[in-house]
Amino acid sequence: MDISIKESKKDENKRFYKLLIFLCFPIIVQNLISSLVNLVDTVMISNLGYNAIASIGIANQFYFLLNMVLIGITGGASVFISQFFGRRDMSSIKKVTGFTFLVALCVAIIFGFVALFIPELVINIFSKDPVLIKPAKEYFAIISFAYPVMAISMSFANCSRAVRRPYLGMLASCAALVVNIVLNYGLILGNLGMPRLEIRGAAIATLCARLVEMLIVLIYVYKIDKSHPLKFGIENIKSLTKDFLKKFLSKSIPVILNDTFWALGTIAFSVAFSITGNQSIAIGQIASTTSNIFLIITVCLASGGAILIGNELGAGRIESAIKTAKKIALIIFIISIILGLLLILSTPIMLKIYHVKDFMQDEVRKVFLVLGSFLFLKASNTFIIISVLRSGGDTKMATILEMCALWGVAVPLTFYLAKRGMPMHILVFATQVEEMVKVFLAVPRALSKKWAVNLASKMNE
């Protein structure tokens, strides 16, 4: 009897890890590719000097804000889609997808309008230095057209993960990376017989890459996989009821607000960095681009975990969802410790890749040391917010605890230290205080199990 129980548990664990890898591997590859696109831009632009990096950094802050708003929109939708999928309610999945698509597209058009017609509104927040303003405006004038394109791609690619079709986003991103690298190499520095367009070349390359990504996603959903769960039509949008939208928005709006205000907090950190000069903006761009690459695996494990937990909750298997959460928590903790060490050890290589000037190298080393040391804490908090609290619809509490840690402590502290002229590594340490505060708020909520709720069963009541 004991042997059969052990064999059963062994088979159960084998199925769990196999499914987790199936879901997380393409998500990791997709996000790694997205980060590599930013890395390629930054590395190639670094040949033009640190002022060029700072200019791109300013424009990327606005892009980052839009990206996080779109992640919030699709993340809020995925909370329901993953549970509907566990319940096999395809009609509701199409309703949510159609509404998500419209909201994401409208938001992206607004961002594109601001970037194209009033870029000074954004640029002046970070710098009033004419050396940075002119190239940043040139970049905005082109990249603004990529925003709606990106919204369309993300609406389908991100939500596809919740219906266990994570490879769509990965394949589209792979194609986009190839396009981006080739055009960056050609247009930024004038290689491959292409004109030397410098910063404008980087913007054109990114726009073309996003167009390729969008076309692949749309062709796959509407032409190749004709039974794709996300393939919605006008009739699905028309079938949305006031009661359905009310229940949907009550859980998804906190996710959108959470990601939006978290992004604004991150941008606020960049504004604080800019108080100490263009050099700090450049260091901040290098540090964030690099640390994001190392953080990707844990964030994607959290995303994959949210799908698994959401599927279990939607199917009414509450205890199984809690058990799944515990397994993923341990995996993320171990991996994040290893990744933090690798980030610190990779510093000499990164200094060469980014062509960091001698007078900046010591400060960059200290910044990487801080980021690597806190990576495990950041990964653990990300898991609790994304995988645990959001998957069960505990989105309001997730938003409250994040905002308290970020806006109540870390942002004011960073600005205070920046105005006192503290060096960059001290400012980066101040930003990580957010994670220290957050863990004391998030862990008790996760352990309470109040998040373990079947939302799908309540949507059509």
Any idea where the domains of the chain sit in the sequence? Answer: 2-459
- Sequence length of the chain is 461
Contact of 237 with 102, CB cutoff 8 Å: yes
Nearest residue to 293 via CA among 50, 22, 27, 33: 33
Residue 1 confidence (pLDDT) = 46
Residue 151 confidence (pLDDT) = 95
CA distance 94 to 232: 5
Residue 129 confidence (pLDDT) = 79
Q: What residue type is assigned to position 226 of the chain?
A: K
Residue 458 confidence (pLDDT) = 66
Which residue reads 């959108």 in tokens? Answer: 256
For the chain, counts of helices (H) and of strands (E): 18, 0
Residue 460 confidence (pLDDT) = 56
Residue 274 confidence (pLDDT) = 83
**pTM of the full structure:** 0.77
CB half-sphere exposure, 304, CA atoms < 13 A: 30
Q: What residue type is assigned to position 42 of the chain?
A: T
Residue 459 confidence (pLDDT) = 61
Which residue reads 């199409």 in tokens? Answer: 94
In the chain (461 residues long), the average pLDDT of successive 10-residue segments reads 56 77 80 71 75 79 86 87 86 92 95 93 82 87 94 91 84 88 90 90 92 94 89 89 86 86 85 82 78 81 85 85 90 92 90 80 89 92 89 85 92 94 91 92 90 74 55
CA distance 26 to 310: 19
CA distance 375 to 385: 15
